[in-house]
Amino acid sequence: MSPASVTINDVARAAGVSKSLVSLTLNERPGVKEETRERILQVARELGWTPHPGARGLSLRRAYALGLVLRRSPRTIEVDPFFASFIAGVETVLAERGNVLVLTVVPDRAAEERAYERLAADKRVDGFLLTDLLADDERIPLLERLGSFAVSLGEPLGGSPFPAVTRDYDAGIDELVQHLVGLGHRRIAHVSGDERMLHGRRRRERFETAARAAGIDPLVVPTDFSPEQGAEATKALLDREDRPTAIVYGNDPMAIAGMGVAHERGLDLPADLSITGLDGSQIGSFVYPSLTTLDNDPAGFGLAAATALLRLVEDGEAGDVALPPARLVVRASTAAPSGR
Q: Where are the domains of the chain?
A: 3-50, 65-167+299-324, 170-296
Beta bridge partners of 274: 246
From CA 23, how far away is CA 43, in angstroms rounded? Answer: 13
CATH architecture label of 65-167+299-324: 3-Layer(aba) Sandwich (3.40)
Contacts (Cβ under 8 Å, ≥6 apart) of 77: 70, 83, 105
For residue 58, the model assigns a pLDDT of: 45
- Residue 315: what residue type? D
Question: Do residues 306 and 129 touch, judged by C-beta distance below 8 A?
Answer: yes
From CA 192, how far away is CA 203, in angstroms rounded? Answer: 8
The fold of 3-50 is 434 Repressor (Amino-terminal Domain) (1.10.260)
CATH class for the domain made up of 170-296: alpha beta
For residue 59, the model assigns a pLDDT of: 47
* 3-state secondary structure at position 223: coil
Tell me which H or E stretch contains 38.
Answer: helix 34-47
From CA 251, how far away is CA 40, in angstroms rounded? Answer: 54
From CA 98, how far away is CA 208, in angstroms rounded? Answer: 45
For residue 248, the model assigns a pLDDT of: 98
> Which residue, 64, 67, 92, is CA-closest to 307?
92
- pLDDT tens for 128-137 read 999 999 988 9
SS3 content of the chain, % helix, strand, coil (to 5): 50, 15, 35
Note if the bond before 51 is cis, omega within 30 degrees: no
- pLDDT tens for 124-173 read 999 999 999 998 899 999 999 998 999 999 999 888 899 999 999 999 99
Model pTM score: 0.81
- pLDDT tens for 33-71 read 888 888 988 988 888 876 655 445 444 568 899 999 999
* 3-state secondary structure at position 193: coil
- Residue 49: what residue type? W
From CA 149, how far away is CA 11, in angstroms rounded? Answer: 33
Q: Residue 285 carries which DSSP code?
A: G
Contacts (Cβ under 8 Å, ≥6 apart) of 57: 63, 64
For residue 29, the model assigns a pLDDT of: 61
Q: Same CATH topology for 65-167+299-324 and 170-296? A: yes
Beta bridge partners of 129: 151
Give Rg (Cα) of the chain: 25
From CA 246, how far away is CA 185, in angstroms rounded? Answer: 7
- pLDDT tens for 200-230 read 999 999 999 999 999 999 999 999 999 999 9
